[in-house]
Chains A and B, each alone.
Chain A
Amino acid sequence: KNQVEQSPQSLIILEGKNCTLQCNYTVSPFSNLRWYKQDTGRGPVSLTIMTFSENTKSNGRYTATLDADTKQSSLHITASQLSDSASYICVVSQNYGGSQGNLIFGKGTKLSVKP
């Protein structure tokens, strides 16, 4: 069964600290993996997209890694800020060939950054 599992479910850290969120998937065939940030009451916003051949990608203080062999990804947040408080959603695209793809969503990790 195609699944995307995220851990932890929730996380509280102090402002300025680093943190790492995990995403394990069992999706085949694999096309790409995405991380989205969702502020409370808003739509998700894309942070990174990684294909099979990419094992790391950065977007400011956000760095995503991908290990396609173990089917694991992580999102590392450096020097956290209060505005990082949000849910982070891992999404894996299943490759149907051509331009089509089926997206499998994780349930997200809720991050709270405290002052």
Chain B
Amino acid sequence: EAQVTQNPRYLITVTGKKLTVTCSQNMNHEYMSWYRQDPGLGLRQIYYSMNVEVTDKGDVPEGYKVSRKEKRNFPLILESPSPNQTSLYFCASSFAGGGGRGSPLHFGNGTRLTVT
């Protein structure tokens, strides 16, 4: 089954403790991206990747890191989480550039992160 898999689904951590949220897709998509979703703000892009070893900042990259060593995986890293990073996070993937050529984004089911 074609899907984007995020892990974990729920995560509670403390300020400053490094964490990684994994994202994997099995559709051979070139494009992958991370979003956070907060009440009243909608989805905001954190980072995206056009292909292996190619990553770029989205609208809200501060406090986050990503890597794209393999085509299928795009982990999101919080080196020193803070309470303002408490949010619902989504990973997504698509063919082409995510916006160009009308290729739809496929989203994972989200990771709800709480930083205390």
Residues of A that sit less than 8 Å from B by CB: 31-32, 34, 36, 41-46, 49, 51, 89, 93-96, 98-103, 105-108
Q: Is the beta-carbon distance between B108 and A43 smaller than 8 angstroms? A: yes
Contact count A vs B, C-beta below 8 Å: 72
Distance (whole angstroms) from the CB of B37 to the closest CB of chain A:
9
Q: Is the beta-carbon distance between B4 and A43 smaller than 8 angstroms? A: yes
Contacts of A51 in B (CB 8 A): 102
Q: Is the interface of B mostly helix, strand, loop or mixed?
A: mixed
> Apart from A46-B105, A95-B99, what are 5 other A-B pairs with CB-CB below 8 Å?
A31-B100, A44-B105, A101-B99, A105-B42, A105-B44
Q: Is the interface of A mostly helix, strand, loop or mixed?
A: strand
B45 within 8 A of A: yes
Q: Identify the closest chain B residue to A4 (Cβ).
A: B42
Known: A42-B109, A103-B99. A49 touches B104 (CB 8 A): yes
Distance (whole angstroms) from the CB of A42 to the closest CB of chain B:
6
Known: A42-B109, A45-B107. A100 touches B100 (CB 8 A): yes
Contacts of B43 in A (CB 8 A): 44, 89, 105
Residues of B that sit less than 8 Å from A by CB: 4, 40-45, 50, 90, 92, 96-102, 104-110
Q: Is the beta-carbon distance between A94 and B97 smaller than 8 angstroms? A: no
Q: Is the beta-carbon distance between B110 and A101 smaller than 8 angstroms? A: no
Q: Is the beta-carbon distance between B42 and A107 smaller than 8 angstroms? A: yes
Contacts of B105 in A (CB 8 A): 34, 36, 44, 46, 103
Q: Identify the closest chain B residue to A100 (Cβ).
A: B97
Contacts of A106 in B (CB 8 A): 42
